[in-house]
Chains A and B, each alone.
Chain A
């Protein structure tokens, strides 16, 4: 109870190994993790929404099949293998990108982006797969509804019907998946940071386990749980923005 009381005042204890306040260690490492997870989420969304929409619109074609196979592979290939494969191909064989490392976005943005691409792609691929499947399934459901038929019969262009009418209604379930996936991203960051020597809270947690530095591990897990809760709250708020009917109820 005394620990909880101190946590409520922002005191997460002291690291046994580093002899520093846990809060300071987390504050130092958190920006790197947030940069990685948000970049992964952006990459995932940039892949998932176009792929999901095209797959739904071109249903039962080769495009749909390719998108769904890609999504299924994204969901099934664990990040610790895709990360190793990406390093093998793009860093060790082609030499296009650095294999491991980190640079600050504020001091050296060019290098930071080069270091960021492979870990963000590794972490984002699982989320891209899940969201693609969700967007396709929801959009297909909406495209079969009466209001879509009405919009088409009024002579609206197909792109307008899909984007302005059906897609908006299929966003709520997709946004729910985003909330769940953020939790998965933060968990996955632990492994991705380890593969790419990314100095975030995930690496801090693994080092804490290896060094039996339990106050640090406790602090990291609590901080991540708090972040997940905040994102879920943001997702709940976003529902109201996306669906005006929820405002009335």
Chain B
């Protein structure tokens, strides 16, 4: 990495940023990913604008109906509008994903930075705690945490955030460890700058690229875990619209009403695909050496 990218405040950093942005926008797959992610977020944020139908309103005169002018994606076993539930499900999925990723970053980054910078006993204690959490499969750990906290969107968000926090801490620690012996850090120390300032002002900006890629991958995984927990019946409780819950309920009508199972499955797969494509694009743009 050039010295210009290390010094976060220097004007030379701007051309590097525009080069990265250029690489990102040249990748067609990354743009497709960005479009899908943007569309999912937009649909989620503006859910009341996109659909006027109430996602929990039941209509017992229209149970398991196929697509029609009144219900574009049909209705479910309670006569609820599938499109409305899909759009409100996007809102839930995006908001839980964003909150969980933010939580993982807010807790994980300081732990990793402290661990990498302080070293010694602090590093040992913090990293062994993180390793212990990493030994559990993500879904199973989230399952255990939700079981302790009780089902609901808040507990699901907290559980997913805790699950991805150790990975963020480990990544941050790795970058801080790599940057700490660099000359620009020694120079900052020689100028009499405090440890906290050196860490925050000089070292941490170099973690941003790696954390951005990690955050995009975590976002995709967080959406899958949220839907997975709801699918198992221990995430978002009914009647709230959640893609996982919709799929769980659709299992009973696989032969009579296929549309009920297809719509939420396509939605979640597309959303995850979008985040994966964006993650790949970001990784290639931020570290061109990885591009084949």
Interface residues of A (CB under 8 A from B): 59, 72-73, 75-78, 80-81, 84-85, 87-88, 92, 137, 140-141, 183-184, 186-188, 190-191, 194-195, 205-206, 208-210, 214, 217-218, 220-221, 224-225, 228-229
Contacts and interface: CB of A to CB of B under 8 A. Distances in A.
B165 interface: no
A184 B163 CA distance: 13
B269 A214 contact: no
Interface of B: 135-141, 143-144, 146-147, 220, 224, 227-228, 231-234, 244, 247-248, 250-251, 254-255, 258, 261, 264-265, 268-269, 272-273, 276-277, 292
Given A140-B292, A191-B139, A225-B136, A217 B254 contact: no
A72 B144 contact: no
B16 to A, nearest CB: 24
Contacts of B146: 209
A84 B254 contact: yes
A225 B134 CA distance: 9
B234 A228 contact: no
B147 A209 contact: yes
A224 B265 contact: no
A80 B258 contact: no
27 contacts: A72-B276, A73-B273, A77-B272, A78-B228, A78-B269, A78-B272, A81-B261, A81-B265, A81-B269, A84-B247, A84-B250, A84-B254, A84-B265, A85-B265, A183-B137, A184-B138, A188-B139, A190-B232, A191-B139, A191-B232, A209-B146, A214-B147, A217-B144, A220-B140, A224-B137, A224-B140, A225-B135
Interface pairs A-B: 4 shortest CB-CB: A187-B137, A81-B265, A187-B139, A76-B273
A221 B254 contact: no
A134 B35 CA distance: 25
A205 B115 CA distance: 34
Residue among B137, B244, B265 with the highest chain A CB neighbour number at 10 A = B137
A78 B140 contact: no
A80 B137 contact: no
Contact of A228 (B137, B251, B254): B137
Contact of B224 (A78, A84, A140, A206): A78
Contact of A187 (B138, B258, B277): B138
B136 A80 contact: no
A228 B276 contact: no
A84 B272 contact: no
B139 A190 contact: yes
Contacts of A218: 144
Residue among A81, A85, A88, A206 with the highest chain B CB neighbour number at 10 A = A81
Contact of A78 (B135, B137, B268): B268
Contacts of B272: 75-78
A183 B135 CA distance: 8
A214 B150 CA distance: 13
A27 B190 CA distance: 60
A80 B228 contact: yes
Nearest to B141: A221
A86 to B, nearest CB: 11
Contacts of A76: 220, 269, 272-273, 276
B143 A209 contact: yes
Given A77-B265, A205-B143, A228-B136, 13 more contacts: A77-B272, A81-B247, A84-B247, A88-B261, A194-B232, A209-B143, A221-B140, A221-B141, A221-B144, A224-B137, A225-B135, A228-B135, A229-B135
A228 B140 CA distance: 12
A150 B255 CA distance: 59
B255 A205 contact: no
Residue among B227, B261, B292 with the highest chain A CB neighbour number at 10 A = B292
A7 B86 CA distance: 45
A128 B279 CA distance: 19
A186 B140 contact: yes
Given A186-B137, A186-B140, A205-B143, A72 B277 contact: yes
Contacts of A224: 136-137, 140
A89 B276 CA distance: 27
Contacts of B136: 221, 224-225, 228
A206 B234 contact: yes
Contacts of A220: 140
A97 to B, nearest CB: 14
A195 B250 CA distance: 12
